Amino acid sequence: MEYQEIAKPSGPYKNVDPNLVDYAASRADFDWWRDAFAKMDWLPGGGLNNAYEAVDRHVDHGHGDKLAMIWVGKNGEEERYTYSDFKERSDRFGAVMKGLGIERGDRVFIFMDRLPELYFAAMGILKAGGVIAPLFSAFGPEPVKDRIEDAEGRFVITSPELKAKISGIFKDLPSVEKIIIVNKNGRSTEPLDDGDLDYDELMANASSDDFTIENTSQYDFSIMHYTSGSTGKPKGVLHRHQAVVQQWLTGHWALDLKFDDIYFCTADPGWVTGTSYGMMAPWTNGVTQIIYEGGFGANAWYDVIDKYKVTVWYTAPTAIRLLMRAGSKPVEEHSLETLRFIGSVGEPLNPEAVVWGNEHYKMPIHDNWWQTETGAIMCANYASMPVRPGSMGRPFPGITMAVIDDNYEPVALGEAGALAVRPGWPSMMYAYWKKDEMYNSRFKKGWYITGDQASLDEDGFFWFQGRADDVINTAGHLVGPFEVESALIEHPAVAEAGVIGKPDPIAMEVVKAFVTLTPDHEPTPQLQRELIRFSRDKLSAGVAPREIDFIDVMPKTRSGKIMRRLLKARELGLPEGDTSTLEDD
């Protein structure tokens, strides 16, 4: 079906400048995407729905018996689902959501480990017209509460153990109407909390027979991920169904996915890689995906690759550095012979890792770059060209990228500057939820400003240089210092907290906090440990500080902002730079 220009829903984003939102880079880029849109299977009513493109269309094209998912549970369980099974279960969940009164655009939070039901629910929500809002299952109560509160989530889907972890937050979340509990294979014997709904019971009582997918347009909202900035709490990045066209095509070209591939993505759906490339890209490309519930483990991952004959593997630099540290032995003890493509995202991939991949996996690792806001891969090392170790590759066709200076003009080749993209790509974020001003501030003089620093070489390859802000990238996950500082100062001993990223050989950066104490508290090792524990319980082990130092005075600007840059310079023994705005103590 042809790409259709249809009226955009007015929605709650009237304040966003429409010229920014659908601004096409150039006529050529736009026409290029138009052709890609034409290759999608549009809904009979003229709409576009991610879940239809990922699941149902394979059934409609006669591939219902093909395996969509092999789930490998943490206790060694295995479950297999064909595209027909997937369609049936997601239709059924769509019917459940409609039965519960979901309306288009309602935010449904999924706070779950990697279980098949997470994926059935996600697709069912999309089919029913809702917006998926995934949450990383390692989060503690605080980040979960902040996000649900901000997005006014109406439904939450979780498991008994995770519900128990956060049960205290719901009294402060009036928007949440129903909590659905997935008790996978009866893992928990505890009764449900009052008012909670049992997933299995809801599914048993719903019928997929007369369910029809909502006729969502490409402009309807589909997914919202929270991402961290240097100021304020994390913000909700809202995407639309039209992102699917770019997820599909980048899956095909940047990850080299072909219909017969067995694909293994190690990212969790709580982060954007786990949805764009752990759901949309693989399934729109019709591959069989391995969903592995367990965490990192060199032998465990290689076992998965061998046992399920994985052909394409998408992972992250931190994991690759851990695999390098695990050494040659686990590699030699496995065959890994089915692997034919490895991709990496989330942080810069060290050139040594590419070399190591060549030696040990007999193939290079392909780095690619993108962010929550871009919704899909923007720049990549492709299967079709030699990898340039240390570079994040070249822009995807239909994407215009540049390195620009403070006047938004391109800098000379080889020079560092702000990495920018011409707005208008299909998976471009539509909004920061209820933060129009912040959204608009990311667009300047016809560019989307990514927040990263990069350089460009004479062959069109981009090279990541660092972040332009204080956001910490730990093991591929962005952590906003403000969120950690806010959690720390809730402790009675903490007067002020300043948080930075400290370089780390494995995780790239770890979170480090500097703390001033309230009167009557002594800087002891016990207090250090207590503060780490306190913030872990509130946030999660990955987000909480790994190290805490006590300081007497917090360096601040005259306007009262914590000078994290200075804390970092002092930590690293670097020059302190311009301190003219430093407050006198």
> Footprint of ligand AMP on residues 431-450 (CB under 6 A)?
450
Query: Taking a C-beta distance cutoff of 8 angstroms, is the pair 129, 245 a contact?
Result: no
Return the number of the residue (289 or 368) whose C-beta is nearest ligand AMP.
368
* Nearest-angstrom CA–CA distance, 166 and 173: 12
Options 216, 227, 247, 391; binder of ligand AMP; rule CB under 6 A: 227
* Nearest-angstrom CA–CA distance, 144 and 62: 41
Residue 372 interacts with ligand AMP (CB under 6 A)?
yes
Options 73, 346, 364, 542; binder of ligand AMP; rule CB under 6 A: 346
Query: Taking a C-beta distance cutoff of 8 angstroms, is the pair 535, 488 a contact?
Result: yes
> Footprint of ligand AMP on residues 536-555 (CB under 6 A)?
none
Return the number of the residue (272 or 532) whose C-beta is nearest ligand AMP.
272
* Nearest-angstrom CA–CA distance, 369 and 392: 6
Options 43, 70, 144, 345; binder of ligand AMP; rule CB under 6 A: 345
Options 158, 246, 473, 474; binder of ligand AMP; rule CB under 6 A: 473
Min separation Cβ 172 and ligand AMP, Å: 27
* Nearest-angstrom CA–CA distance, 520 and 518: 6
Return the number of the residue (129 or 270) whose C-beta is nearest ligand AMP.
270
Return the number of the residue (159 or 450) whose C-beta is nearest ligand AMP.
450
> Footprint of ligand AMP on residues 107-166 (CB under 6 A)?
none
> Footprint of ligand AMP on residues 318-337 (CB under 6 A)?
none
Return the number of the residue (217 or 344) whose C-beta is nearest ligand AMP.
344
SS3 per-residue string spanning 130-186? CEEEEECCCCCHHHHHHHHHHHCCCEEEECHHHHHHHHHHHHHCCCCCEEEECCHHH
* Nearest-angstrom CA–CA distance, 506 and 517: 31
Min separation Cβ 537 and ligand AMP, Å: 23
Where does this chain touch ligand AMP (CB under 6 A) — which range of 24-32, 131-139, 345-353, 400-408? Answer: 345-353
Options 68, 265, 392, 517; binder of ligand AMP; rule CB under 6 A: 392
Q: Write b or e for each residue in 90-108: b if 16 or more Cβ atoms lie within 10 A of its Cβ, otherwise e.
A: bbbbbbbbbebebebbbbb
Residue 452 interacts with ligand AMP (CB under 6 A)?
yes
* Nearest-angstrom CA–CA distance, 468 and 309: 41
Residue with token string 């660092």: 466
Return the number of the residue (119 or 464) whose C-beta is nearest ligand AMP.
464
Min separation Cβ 564 and ligand AMP, Å: 16
Min separation Cβ 371 and ligand AMP, Å: 4
> What is the phi/psi pair of residue 167, to 5°?
-55, -30
Residue 483 interacts with ligand AMP (CB under 6 A)?
no
Min separation Cβ 436 and ligand AMP, Å: 20
Residue 290 interacts with ligand AMP (CB under 6 A)?
no
**Across the chain, how many H-helices and E-strands are there?**
20, 27
* Nearest-angstrom CA–CA distance, 300 and 311: 16
Residue 464 interacts with ligand AMP (CB under 6 A)?
yes
CB 341: neighbour CB atoms within 10 A?
A: 20
Return the number of the residue (178 or 442) whose C-beta is nearest ligand AMP.
442
CB 523: neighbour CB atoms within 10 A?
A: 15
Options 127, 394, 467, 538; binder of ligand AMP; rule CB under 6 A: 467
Where does this chain touch ligand AMP (CB under 6 A) — which range of 190-198, 211-219, 344-352, 480-488? Answer: 344-352
Where does this chain touch ligand AMP (CB under 6 A) — which range of 132-140, 353-361, 365-373, 563-571? Answer: 365-373
Strands (E), 318-412: 341-344, 365-369, 379-380, 394-395, 401-404
The residues that bridge with 238 in the sheet, in sequence order, are: 224, 431
Q: What is the separation of C-alpha 425 from the centre of its chain, rounded to a whole number of angstroms?
A: 18
Min separation Cβ 281 and ligand AMP, Å: 14
Site size with ligand AMP, rule: CB under 6 A: 19
End-to-end CA distance of the chain: 67
Where does this chain touch ligand AMP (CB under 6 A) — which range of 49-57, 279-287, 361-369, 554-562? Answer: 361-369
Residue 470 interacts with ligand AMP (CB under 6 A)?
no
- Spatial strand order of the sheet with 131-135 comes to 197-198, 178-181, 155-158, 107-111, 131-135, 221-227, 235-240, 431-432
Min separation Cβ 401 and ligand AMP, Å: 13
Options 53, 56, 347, 485; binder of ligand AMP; rule CB under 6 A: 347
Query: Taking a C-beta distance cutoff of 8 angstroms, is the pair 221, 430 a contact?
Result: yes
The residues that bridge with 179 in the sheet, in sequence order, are: 156
DSSP annotation of 54 reads: I
Options 166, 272, 402, 429; binder of ligand AMP; rule CB under 6 A: 272
Return the number of the residue (442 or 546) whose C-beta is nearest ligand AMP.
442
Min separation Cβ 454 and ligand AMP, Å: 8
> What is the phi/psi pair of residue 134, to 5°?
-85, 145
Footprint on this chain of ligand AMP (rule: CB under 6 A): 227, 272, 345-348, 367-369, 371-372, 392, 450-452, 464, 467, 473, 478
